[in-house]
Amino acid sequence: MGIIRVGGRGTSKRIVDKIEDNWSGAPFKKYSEQQKEAAKDRYITMGRGTAKIKFGDVMSTSPKSSKGMWIGTGRGTGRRRLD
């Protein structure tokens, strides 16, 4: 990847290779699918704890565009449209 400087509380510095981030985007999607596959036979509760289903039966969501949606700004007094 790249080289970054790391250290504890700013008291030391060392240069290490940066590993790829996996907490968002396509890498996280891949990671979450692997986790779901590993836990597909476990049960999860739904509907205020009154029903349970297997985790493998939960449908995956598809990416959705936020284009054209409105978001609140300031302290909720204004809004703007996403392009």
Q: What is the pLDDT of residues 58-67, one digit of tens each?
A: 887 777 888 9
Strands (E), the chain: 3-6, 14-17, 43-46, 51-54, 70-73, 78-81
Asked if the model's pLDDT at residue 5 lies above 70, the reply is no
Please indicate, yes or no, whether the overall pTM of this predicted structure exceeds 0.75.
no
Query: What does DSSP assign to residue 60?
Result: P
Q: What is the pLDDT of residues 9-32, one digit of tens each?
A: 767 777 777 777 778 888 888 888
Asked if the model's pLDDT at residue 68 lies above 70, the reply is yes
Residues belonging to the chain: 83
Asked if the model's pLDDT at residue 1 lies above 60, the reply is no
